[in-house]
A and B are shown apart, each in its own frame.
Chain A
Amino acid sequence: MTLVEQSAADLLKQLAAGELTSRELTQAYLDQIEQHDARVGAFLRVNAEAALKQADTIDRRRGAGEQIGVLGGLPVAVKDLLCQTGEPTTCASRMLEDFRPPYDSTVVAKLKAADAVLLGRTNMDEFAMGGSTENSAFQPTRNPWDLERSPGGSSGGAAACVAAGMAPLSIGTDTGGSIRQPSAFCGVVGMKPTYGRVSRYGLVAFASSLDQAGPISGTVADTALLLQAIAGHDPRDSTSLNAPTPDYTADVDKPLEGLRLGVVKEHFGEGLDPEVDSAVRAAIAAYEAQGAKIVELSLPHSRFAVATYYVIAPCEASSNLARYDGAHYGRRTEERAMLASLQAERKAAQEAGDADALDNIDTALVRMYRQSRSEAIGPEVKRRIMLGAYALSAGYYDAYYLKALKVRRLIRQDFDQAFEKVDMIVGPTTAGPANKLGEFADDPLGMYLLDLYTVSANLAGLPAMSLPCGATKSGMPIGLQLHAPPLEESRLLRAARMFEQSGVWKSKRCAL
């Protein structure tokens, strides 16, 4: 097995034993990227020099007998949404094309503290809005299993790079399924932790009450390892939970006794791909074979989840993205040209004696904002800003935003009631395998429905994860999704590991 085919946990053992240097390992991944990423497009930027330098430092410290952090020289790829000092943090938007944050996000700071080697920045849908990574302003990412297909989104780059062996570990963010859906499409393991478990400080906000960073990797144990490194309370994030971080890596191999597994009837309704259906049912049977008790249940408000999500997320996005106005940072329109055209318009209206037109001409300031935003923000992001601004505006607030908050509470209540009866909920991550690139170019609503099974966890703030549980006849991965009560990441990981060890499905890296 080549280096890039091995699990992070195995690589870590070799690093710790001195059988492998971080430099060798980092170089192996850099080579893999060099060789394949032109076709996949998972990375927006790879900083080979900085990565190797970091690897050397870790190797030297290990050689000197110093204590090394939990990631001990393993390379990690970071979604281009988490601020990293001096590195471009573009959110795959023209707006932030030249943005170099003067600070590290807490997740990046924790990765550095854990002695990870930061490989580079992965591609995504612009500002994390989208389900296919086609909405990046710079490049689409392709699914390594089938280059004609989407890797999913918005953490498409983060999932694809792991699937393609270009990074053993990667950080994604999940607002409505953006870690789990691409993980399912790319055949890797991805987790959205409990809201507040991982600090949002330095995570460029899309929808603040839903956003959560989390790990993506090839195996459940590797996911535990990466979660270990990034979880924890952060006083700089008021929504961060002040709860102790369990030892995920120590517990992951302990199977759960007497597990009560909830199967939600709404997850097996119309629109579910038959191949996904049968793979998920096989996974459920595997749990049953290990002694789990299966409980049928209903989440009656889950049918409103997508609608609720597509009110709340755009509302928050319209507000969070207001700061990109061309005044302070990010792209500003070419001012000379803008002012000249403004003057010409004004003159023309004056000469025509058109008082109304004259009255409707922007001030220079308003024109600057409008043009800067028009030029630098892509269509999907614009669509959501418009939706959010509309839903929050006077007269509509009660009908949309407030109503959505109420439904959100009901969705959470459904889960609370369900978790009185079961320890975990199991079901499909997505209704079908990865779609073709361009499939949703003219169908934004179709794209929104990709989040059908994943958005509820964000609305309810629950931890959830996706792991590979099968493949279609054409070889596309299928994901199994697990939901647990708040702060029960450990339970999720142990349950996921039980399935992994059942032998029902052996996940593998794709051959490129």
Chain B
Amino acid sequence: MYTTVIGLEVHVQLATKSKLFCGCSTAYGAEPNTQTCPVCIGMPGSLPVMNEEAVALAIETGLALNLQIAKFTKWDRKQYFYPDLPKGYQISQYDLPITHDGWLEIEDPKGAFEPKKIRILRAHLEEDAGKSLHDESAGKGDTLIDLNRTGTPLLEIVSEPDLRSSAEAKAYLTELRLLLTYLGVSDCNMQEGSLRVDANVNLHIPSDAAANDDNAQDGKIATPIVEIKNMNSFRAVERAIDYEADRQYREWKETGRRLGQSPKQTRGWDDAAGVTRAQRSKEESSDYRYFPDPDLAPVVISAEVVAKVRERLIELPADLRKRLVADYGLSLYDADVIVNQGRPTVDYYLTVADGSGDAKSSANWLTQDVLRTLKNRELAIEEFSIPAERLSNFVKKIGAGELPSARGREVFELMADDGLEVDAAMDKLGIAQVDDSEIESLCQELLDANPKVVADVQGGKQQAIGALIGQAKKKNPNIDPGKFRATCLALIAKG
């Protein structure tokens, strides 16, 4: 069967306050054309001035993605006509991107694919274009242009074609988004267009024809590469890739057309219909006529600047996962669940685990009860009514046997609802520790009152004790059922 070969181009909006070449705000959602100035709308005579923070964020991302940071980089103009591109060119980077040649490791705790390094070819800076709004109401064919987004800094992260399935593509995107949000270099909000994905897809198909094909490798021939645009969710990326792989296979069987026999095609993803559609070749036949932008000086990035940016780098998700597995004894799966929630959840976990001394139990309470509560109540961890220190005391009490684990959930819920400390919650629920002599006397009392149970147990039916547990809990709700059962069995055995 064939191999799917996928490379992704991810456009990330960098979290600067102002645009790449002027002081206009990058905030989302303002009235159209209110965040513009002569520079970002390309008025005659206006000139760009580089935003140094955007450069720093690009370097920071580059370091996190193991990319080489260019010592010398420059700005180029990419020329094409489009109504939302006010200057008639986009300021981008062509042959000397700010960062190049790195990798991102992806892992699959569920085991659908092996952990692997996805190579990254380059990540370069560029300015965003504006937005076209098509007004087709009442037979109109108007196009309105909103230039608020024009000049917003983007980092285009281009992977090598190392991905082999839609699942891997999704894992790559998920990990990339997580990393970028950890760094805080982007909010990666796909609804607001802060993260946009194009996918390059083709197939390598085992074929006898490979022997006579220059593009063939390992007895496989390659189908023409298709670039899929306009996907607005990771789910859409997965579906589009799966659809496209299937479509290319069918097309290959029909036409036998291979890489090099037709130009690279651009297709759009129609999410509602679940299909990719060819875009008119005329709209895409581009010669961008790149050349260095004479309005902007080349950028020399010194080792000092890189060192300064490196100082603000924080621990990355992959390293955190490794630390949770190695130092806290968690399964990769649990570590993954915690890390994928974002840095505040990791910090929460670390406080609970360090304070309680019980890393595993802390992880269980966090990944189950805490996350479920947050989800139900639609809260972020920062807004949660049980601060980490409090949960830490709670876990510690259970571990020490001071809080029967059977009643843990009751206490947890009360803590969550009323914002109580663990002791206060236990008091309110009347939970007190029962000492061994008290349990023993209660067992004796109930065994004496229920000779049939004693006889059943002696006859081999240990489960008969169960009938006494309910009675015991009525007499003393703090009784630990496990302990009660064990004590009763011991007394019966003693005779």
Contact = CB atoms under 8 A, between A and B. Distances in A.
B49 A103 contact: no
A288 B111 CA distance: 89
A235 B296 CA distance: 12
A327 B287 contact: no
A369 B88 CA distance: 11
Interface in B46-69: 46-50
Interface in A202-216: 202-205, 207-209
Nearest to A89: B44
B333 interface: no
Given A322-B88, A393-B289, A394-B287, A99 B44 contact: yes
Interface stretch (A35-43, A236-244, A293-301): A236-244
B86 interface: yes
B42 A323 contact: yes
B86 A323 contact: yes
A392 B282 CA distance: 20
Contacts of A324: 88
Given A103-B38, A319-B77, A322-B79, A236 B44 contact: no
A316 to B, nearest CB: 6
B83 A319 contact: no
Contacts of B77: 319
Contact of A209 (B79, B81, B294): B294
B347 interface: no
Contacts of A237: 47, 49
Contact of B297 (A207, A238, A318): A238
Interface size class on chain B is 20 to 34
A201 to B, nearest CB: 5
Nearest to B41: A328
A209 B282 CA distance: 33
Interface in B281-295: 282-283, 287, 289-291, 294-295
Contact of B83 (A201, A205, A322, A365): A365
A328 B86 CA distance: 7
Contacts of A105: 45
B291 A201 contact: no
A323 B45 contact: no
A395 to B, nearest CB: 9
Contacts of A315: 291
Interface residues of A, number: 46
Which of A82, A89, A237, A323 is most buried by chain B, counting CB atoms within 10 A of its CB? A323
B44 to A, nearest CB: 4
Contacts of A99: 44
A329 B86 CA distance: 10
B43 interface: yes
B291 A319 contact: yes
Contacts of A83: 43-45
Given A323-B42, A325-B88, A393-B289, A238 B294 contact: no
Contacts of B289: 318-319, 389, 392-394, 397
Given A96-B44, A238-B47, A238-B49, A327 B89 contact: no
The 4 closest A-B pairs by CB, nearest first: A322-B88, A209-B294, A208-B294, A392-B289
Interface of B: 38, 41-50, 77, 79, 81, 83, 86-89, 145, 282-283, 287, 289-291, 294-297
18 contacts: A101-B45, A103-B43, A201-B45, A205-B45, A205-B295, A208-B294, A209-B294, A236-B47, A238-B49, A238-B296, A316-B294, A319-B79, A319-B291, A322-B87, A323-B44, A323-B86, A324-B88, A328-B42
